[in-house]
Structure 1
Amino acid sequence: MSDWLPLREVALRARASAGPEARHARFRARAGVWHAAFAAQTGTHWALHCDDVLEFAAALFGAWHAGKTVWLPGDALPQTRAALQPQVAGFAGDAPGDLAPAPDALDAALPGDPLDEDATRLVVFTSGTSGEASAIPKRLAQLAREVESLEATFGARLGAAPVHATVSHQHIYGLLFRVLWPLAAGREIVPRRVLFHEDMFAALQRAPGVLVSSPAHLKRLPEGLDWPRLRGCVGAVFSSGGALPDEAARDVQARFGQAPIEIYGSSETGGVAWRGDGGAWQALPHVEWRVRDARLEVRSPHLHDTDWFATEDRAQADATGFRLLGRADRIVKIEERRVSLTALERALRDTGWLQEARVLLLDGARSVLGAVCVPAAEGRARLGRSGKAEVCRALRAVLARGHDPVALPRRWRFVDALPVNAQGKTTDRDLLALFRPHAPTPRWLRRDAVHAALEFNTTPDLLVFDGHFPAAPVLPGVVQVDWAVRWAREAFALPPDFVRMEAIKFQRIVGASQRVRLSLDWSAERGTLTFAFRSESGPHASGRLVFGGAA
Structure 2
Amino acid sequence: MNPGLTLAQVALPQSRAAAHAVARLAAGVVTHAQWVCQVKAWCAALQQVPGQDVALYLDDPLAFAAALWGAWHAGKTPVLLSDTQPQTVAQLLPQVAACVGPWPGAIGPAQDATVVDAVALQPLDMALARLVLFTSGSTGMPERIEKCLAQLDAEVHALQSVFAADLAVDGAQVLATVSHHHIYGLLFRLLWPLSAGRLLGTSFARYPEELVQQLQAAPSSLLVSSPALLGRLPAQLDWAAATVGLRGVFSSGGPLPHEASVLAQQLLGHSPSEVFGSSETGGIAWRRRAEQGDTWQTLPGVALRVLDNGCLAVQSPHLPAATTWWETADCVEASGDGRSFVLLGRSDRIVKIAEKRVSLTAMERCLQAHDWVQQSRAVVLEQTPEGSPTPARVGMVVELTDAGWQALQQHGRRHVGQTLRCVLEGAVERVALPRSWRYVAQLPVNAQSKITQHSLQTLFNPVVPLPRWRERSATQATADLYIQPRLRVLEGHFPGATLVPGVAQLHWAVSLGLQAFGLDAYFADAQLLKFQQPILPGDTVQMQLQWQPDKGCLQFALTSARGAHASGKLLQWRA
Q: Does 1:28 align with 2:43?
A: no
CA distance, structure 2, for counterparts of residue 181 and residue 386 of structure 1? 62
Pick one of 259, 268, 279 that aligns with 2:294: 279
SS of structure 1 residue aligned to 2:348: coil
Post-superposition shift, 1:318?
Answer: 2.6
Q: Does 1:301 align with 2:317?
A: yes
CA RMSD of aligned residues (A): 3.7
CA distance, structure 2, for counterparts of residue 92 and residue 386 of structure 1? 50
Counterpart residue identity of residue 344, structure 2: L
SS of structure 2 residue aligned to 1:225: coil
Deviations 1:497-549 (A, max 9, x none): xxxxxxxxxxxxxxxxxxxxxxxxxxxxxxxxxxxxxxxxxxxxxxxxxxxxx
CA distance, structure 1, for counterparts of residue 104 and residue 35 of structure 2? 22
Distance 1:72 1:354, change over 3 A: farther
Distance 1:95 1:200, change over 3 A: farther
**Partner residue of 1:267?**
279
Post-superposition shift, 1:204?
Answer: 1.1
CA distance, structure 1, for counterparts of residue 493 and residue 144 of structure 2? 20
1:482-501 counterparts in 2 under 5 A? none
Identity percentage over the alignment? 44
**Partner residue of 2:264?**
252
Gaps of 5+ in 2: 24-29, 351-359, 365-376, 401-441, 445-455, 495-575
CA distance, structure 1, for counterparts of residue 178 and residue 378 of structure 2? 20
Counterpart residue identity of residue 8, structure 2: R
Q: Does 1:125 align with 2:142?
A: no
The question of whether the paired residues in 1 share the 8 Å contact of 2:9 and 2:15 is answered with no
Pick one of 47, 58, 61 that aligns with 1:50: 58
SS of structure 1 residue aligned to 2:8: helix
The question of whether the paired residues in 1 share the 8 Å contact of 2:22 and 2:194 is answered with no
Post-superposition shift, 1:259?
Answer: 0.7
The question of whether the paired residues in 1 share the 8 Å contact of 2:461 and 2:486 is answered with no
Moved more, 114-123 or 194-203: 194-203
Q: Does 1:113 align with 2:128?
A: no
Deviations 1:296-323 (A, max 9, x none): 1110000001210001111111357201
Q: Does 1:149 align with 2:165?
A: no
Counterpart residue identity of residue 152, structure 1: S
**Partner residue of 2:370?**
none
Moved more, 324-333 or 194-203: 324-333
CA distance, structure 1, for counterparts of residue 478 and residue 273 of structure 2? 49
**Partner residue of 1:495?**
none
Post-superposition shift, 1:256?
Answer: 1.1
The question of whether the paired residues in 2 share the 8 Å contact of 1:359 and 1:371 is answered with no
The question of whether the paired residues in 1 share the 8 Å contact of 2:461 and 2:487 is answered with no
The question of whether the paired residues in 1 share the 8 Å contact of 2:250 and 2:272 is answered with yes
TM-score after normalising by structure 2: 0.61
Deviations 1:28-85 (A, max 9, x none): 1111100011001110011100000000000000001111111111101111011113
**Partner residue of 2:405?**
none
1:96-495 counterparts in 2 under 5 A? 96-101=104-109, 107-108=116-117, 110-126=119-135, 131-156=140-165, 157=167, 158-207=169-218, 208-277=220-289, 278-292=293-307, 293-305=309-321, 306-319=323-336, 321-330=340-349, 345=382, 358=393, 360-365=395-400, 366-367=442-443, 369=456, 379-381=466-468, 395-398=487-490
TM-score after normalising by structure 1: 0.64
CA distance, structure 2, for counterparts of residue 131 and residue 243 of structure 1? 19
Post-superposition shift, 1:192?
Answer: 2.4
Deviations 1:206-255 (A, max 9, x none): 11300000011111101221111134321010000011111111111111
CA distance, structure 2, for counterparts of residue 399 and residue 45 of structure 1? 28
The question of whether the paired residues in 1 share the 8 Å contact of 2:378 and 2:397 is answered with no
Deviations 1:444-496 (A, max 9, x none): xxxxxxxxxxxxxxxxxxxxxxxxxxxxxxxxxxxxxxxxxxxxxxxxxxxxx
Counterpart residue identity of residue 278, structure 2: S
Distance 1:359 1:227, change over 3 A: same
Distance 1:109 1:216, change over 3 A: farther
SS of structure 2 residue aligned to 1:116: coil
Moved more, 119-128 or 13-22: 13-22
Post-superposition shift, 1:155?
Answer: 1.4
Gaps of 5+ in 1: 403-551
**Partner residue of 1:449?**
none
The question of whether the paired residues in 2 share the 8 Å contact of 1:354 and 1:373 is answered with no
The question of whether the paired residues in 2 share the 8 Å contact of 1:65 and 1:110 is answered with no
SS of structure 2 residue aligned to 1:113: coil
Deviations 1:326-371 (A, max 9, x none): 122149999xxxx9967x84xx88x877766756453544556368
Distance 1:358 1:72, change over 3 A: farther
Distance 1:83 1:105, change over 3 A: farther
1:509-524 counterparts in 2 under 5 A? none
Post-superposition shift, 1:379?
Answer: 3.8
CA distance, structure 1, for counterparts of residue 394 and residue 86 of structure 2? 24
Counterpart residue identity of residue 490, structure 2: V
Post-superposition shift, 1:126?
Answer: 1.0
Post-superposition shift, 1:137?
Answer: 0.6
Post-superposition shift, 1:102?
Answer: 5.4
**Partner residue of 2:420?**
none
Pick one of 73, 86, 89 that aligns with 2:81: 73
Moved more, 282-291 or 121-130: 121-130
SS of structure 1 residue aligned to 2:131: strand
The question of whether the paired residues in 1 share the 8 Å contact of 2:43 and 2:70 is answered with yes
Post-superposition shift, 1:401?
Answer: 7.7
CA distance, structure 1, for counterparts of residue 469 and residue 40 of structure 2? 56
Counterpart residue identity of residue 287, structure 1: V
